[in-house]
Amino acid sequence: MSPRGRVVRGGRAGGGEVGGGIGGEVGAPRSARVVAGVPAGVGVALLVLPLLALVVRTPWARAPEVLADAAVGQALRLSLGCAAAATGLCLLVGLPLAWLLARARGGAAATVRALVSVPLVLPPVVGGVALLMLLGRRGLLGRPLDLAFGVTVPFTTAAVVLAQAFVALPFLVVAVEGALRAADRRHEEVAATLGASPGVVARRVTLPLVAPGVLSGTVLCLARALGEFGATITFAGSLPGVTRTLPLGVYLALESDPDAALVLSVLLLVVSLAVLLVLRHRWLR
């Protein structure tokens, strides 16, 4: 038998061993999925079962009566309008901020990034107190505004928008900054070498590259603003038709009419899911 033949058979034998090794490795993720499936299932149950219980326990017979209440429609319109305004404000200031954080380097950028992320972990009620200390009648900026112009921000619809923007802005900034960091900057450099101005580069190159990140951040921002409660009730109060958004209406109804609170909770759940599904179908495919 020739050495060449032995080499070939050895290679085949070695290949079989390697193939067996690979086959063993392919089987490992399957067993890992089984092991991970138990805590993963618990996590899914933790998220899904409360919502299922909410839907099951809702007194559907009272739904028409509750939803026909003029105060409910008023709170829903206020919630959607304020959330849309807060999202617009976040886009106005958040896109430039995310761009600067993605392009800047050094300690200053890291410090600003950390400060921007604070509302993600800060209890919303504390955010409302902070806004009150800043813009209240005795606040750092609120007092001069009141004395000089007679402008009072707390307990107004503008306060609702500011409270929602305060808690929702980090969601947009984090998503857009991540998209900017992941984008290939060579496209921008090529456009600049071809004579495009910075504005044209941003509009025609950068924004299309990071559009999925911008839109996903916008969805998260809108959903967070729509569900805001703690900062709103602390900074804006709960004035019917002025600052009483739907989450506040749910809380107040829970104390006096639990059945109505369940119906309103399902309504808010449906609105939130509709926002996510519509925007995902339209932009995030």
- Read off the pLDDT of residues 154-186 as tens digits, 9 standing for 90 and up: 999 999 999 999 999 999 999 999 998 888 778
Structure tokens at 97: 């901020």
Closest CA to 72 of 224, 234, 266, 228: 266
Per-residue pLDDT, 282? 52
Q: Which long-range contacts (CB under 8 A, 24 or more apart) does 151-158 make?
A: 154/235, 154/236, 154/237, 155/236, 155/237, 155/239, 155/242, 155/243, 156/236, 156/242, 156/243, 157/78, 157/82, 157/236, 157/242, 157/243
The pLDDT tens digits of the residues spanning 197-237 come to 877 887 788 888 888 889 889 988 999 999 999 999 999 99
Hey, what amino acid is at 208?
P
What's 99-144 look like in SS3? HHHHHCCCHHHHHHHHHHHHHHHCCHHHHHHHHHHHHCCCCCCHHH
pLDDT tens for residues 236-268? 999 999 999 999 999 999 998 999 999 999 999
Structure tokens at 190: 């090529």
| Residue-range domain boundaries for the chain | 1-57, 63-283
pLDDT of residue 229: 95
Taking 60 as the threshold, does the pLDDT of residue 19 lie above it?
Answer: no
Local confidence band at 285 (pLDDT 50, 70, 90 cut-offs): low
How many CA atoms within 13 Å lie on the side-chain side of 9?
5
Q: What is the pLDDT of residue 280?
A: 64
Decide if pLDDT at 5 tops 70: no
- Structure-block tokens of residue 164: 């929602």
Q: Which CATH superfamily is domain 63-283 in?
A: MetI-like (1.10.3720.10)
Say yes or no to pLDDT of 33 above 90.
no
pTM of the model: 0.82
- What region, left, alpha or beta, does residue 241 occupy, with left being phi > 0 and alpha being psi -120 to 50 degrees? left
Percent of all residues in the chain with a pLDDT value above 70, rounded to a whole number = 87
Residue 276 is predicted with a pLDDT of 76
Per-residue pLDDT band at 194 (split at 50, 70, 90): confident
Q: Return all residues near 80 (Cβ < 8 A) that are at least 6 apart.
A: 226, 271
